[in-house]
Structure 1
Amino acid sequence: MTVARSITSTVDPDDLVQEAYTRIFQAIRRGGGPTGAFRAYLFTAIRNTAASWGRGRREFAIEELEAVADPSST
């Protein structure tokens, strides 16, 4: 939880940790997952999850939206 809180303040740390554990569990079921220290693997999974969520939440400025053509008017 401490690592999740230190990485981002925009995402709920509980959700971030839960998703990281889910991704690790899925990796283990596929035959992957940690081969060394689990703690380091978990911290990396938390960081990567936060990064992927951050990429998905990008917002666009209103000025940029005005430059996009409306498909219904063309």
Structure 2
Amino acid sequence: MNTAGSVAYGWGALIVAAGVSFYYAKKEIDARRKDATLRGNRPLEKLSWEEKIAQQATSTDKHLSPIQNSIPKDSFKPPEEKK
């Protein structure tokens, strides 16, 4: 039933199928990246993780500042202790 030939055939078929799917997936991903670059949606420079976090923090602050400014400061007072 599971002879050496059938196992080798199964592994060979699996490797060929994985290789073909990798080829087509990579081709599609590269096309998406090229399209995004041409439309200007993809940044050209590579950022480190620290730069990405700093960039996200500044963009989040810009979006949340109108909301934060509209809330009265005294509405976030801690509850007073009961004596």
- TM-score by structure 1 length? 0.38
Of structures 1 and 2, the larger Rg is shown by: 2
**Higher RCO (C-alpha 8 Å, min separation 6):** 1
Report the structure, 1 or 2, having the larger helix content: 2
